[in-house]
Amino acid sequence: MKDGSKVKFNPIKLIFCILIVEITGIIGSIATFSSVKTWYLTDLVKPSWNPPSWLFAPVWTLLFLLIGIALYLVWNKKNNLFWFWTQLVLNVLWSFLFFGFHSPTLAFCEILILWITILLTIIRFWSFNKKAGILLLPYLAWVSFATILNFSIALLN
């Protein structure tokens, strides 16, 4: 689908795309919930600029909504979504590495790869639908911040 093409709005497909991404976030939160109130709060040294814990859930929920809408805008039989699915899997994997395995260092290595796959997804989506690419920019910005935060936590611990 190119930006100029007319595509009939499909609310079922839109909801499906959003649900896929939000459910992926829920899967990642399984590892997070087990550690966020214990290990993350009590055992880790974090930088002074670390955001409050309550901020992460609403930010990720909004980002996953935007990611789902972007998926809706580009998902058709002709598009190769390899980078999209790869970054989604890596997003979940990061939660398990950081929170599940309590490994900020391993999670940092992985988030660098995640960042690259998000950038490749944006480039790919942009070529199909500029709006879809734009919708992913806040995701890249947040993961950029998370990468710096993850690096700082790895250094401090």
- Cα–Cα nearest to 110, from 125, 93, 122: 93
HSE toward the beta carbon, residue 143, CA cutoff 13 A: 27
What pTM did the predictor assign?
0.92
- pLDDT value at residue 1: 46
Q: Is the distance from CB of 66 to CB of 22 less than 8 angstroms?
A: no
Mean pLDDT score, 34-52:
92
- pLDDT value at residue 34: 81
Q: Is residue 26's pLDDT more than 80?
A: yes
pLDDT digits over 44-71, tens only?
999 999 999 899 999 999 999 999 999 9
Domains of the chain: 11-156 (1.20.1260.100)
